[in-house]
Amino acid sequence: MSRKNLNLNIIERIKKVMADEGLNNAQFADAIGFSHGLVSLVLNNKSPITNKFIKAVCLKFNLSDGWLKTGEGEKWKQRKGESFPVSQATQDDFVTIPLFSDLISAGSGLVPVNEIELRISFRRDWIEKKGDPSHMSLIRVTGDSMEPTLLSDDLVLVNHGKDYLDPQGGIYAIAMGDLIMIKRLQLVYPHGTVKVISDNAKYDSVELPQDQVKINGRVIWFGREI
């Protein structure tokens, strides 16, 4: 049997596991700790399935690597009743962050509605190094003013606990009046003003007093669908 057909058989078994656990591609990628893009390529048989990938799937879902590779033998490393359920492991190892259905603009700005569209899982050990997950949210970007860094429809993870401007600057969700936007901020010395920067060169930057720039949180991660 060709390697391509072997991969297709492995992919079929992986998709069955995903269906049993009620996971979409993005949730599955978060669960095993691989990027959404790579998982999409693997599941569409456009990228080789490495031993590292198989090991991550087996570890997360308590699967026998022999069964995942060949479809033969015992499916589970241990019988289901002899180990913790996968749902319990997910609860312990992952944190869900809400994705709000309203858009944060990377253009002229949008008024937020704050309705939760869905929740996305992140590895607890990774996200807790970035701050308190209960003070974070995901928001979908629209507009082109932050291209090529952020594209319209990207997801940004905002740490609302970082509602202050770091001396080295960064990318922030900011509120200006009733509008919320994603912009790069830079502290201007010695004036103490804030430079609000669009990464897209066709948009001009503006310099404002600090009290006119209300920081909603710092962008610490972004995700992009293919």
Q: What local confidence, expressed as pLDDT, does residue 172 receive? A: 95
- Higher pLDDT, residue 27 or 140: 27
Per-residue pLDDT of 105-135, as tens digits, reads 555 554 444 567 778 889 888 999 899 998 8
Q: What local confidence, expressed as pLDDT, does residue 107 receive? A: 56
Q: What local confidence, expressed as pLDDT, does residue 79 receive? A: 43
Per-residue pLDDT of 176-220, as tens digits, reads 666 778 999 999 988 789 999 999 999 999 999 988 888 989 999
146 Cβ contact list (under 8 Å, min separation 6):
106, 171, 182, 183, 184, 198, 199, 200
Q: What local confidence, expressed as pLDDT, does residue 226 receive? A: 72
Q: Domain boundaries in the chain? A: 3-83, 94-223
Q: What superfamily does domain 3-83 belong to in CATH?
A: lambda repressor-like DNA-binding domains (1.10.260.40)
Return the bridge partners of 104, or none.
141
SS3 51: helix
Q: What local confidence, expressed as pLDDT, does residue 106 receive? A: 57
- Higher pLDDT, residue 106 or 18: 18
Mean of the per-residue pLDDT values of the chain: 83
Task: Look up residue 160 and give its DSSP letter.
Answer: T
Indicate if the pLDDT at residue 83 is higher than 80: no
Measured CA to CA, the distance from residue 105 to residue 198 in angstroms comes to: 12
Per-residue pLDDT of 46-65, as tens digits, reads 988 998 999 889 988 888 88
Which has the closest alpha carbon to 165: 146, 133, 135, 188? 188
Q: What local confidence, expressed as pLDDT, does residue 87 receive? A: 43
Q: What local confidence, expressed as pLDDT, does residue 219 receive? A: 95
Pairing of strands 206-208, 136-142: unpaired
CA atoms within 13 A on the CB side of 114: 3
pTM of the model: 0.56
Q: What local confidence, expressed as pLDDT, does residue 110 receive? A: 46
CATH fold of 94-223 reads Umud Fragment, subunit A (2.10.109)
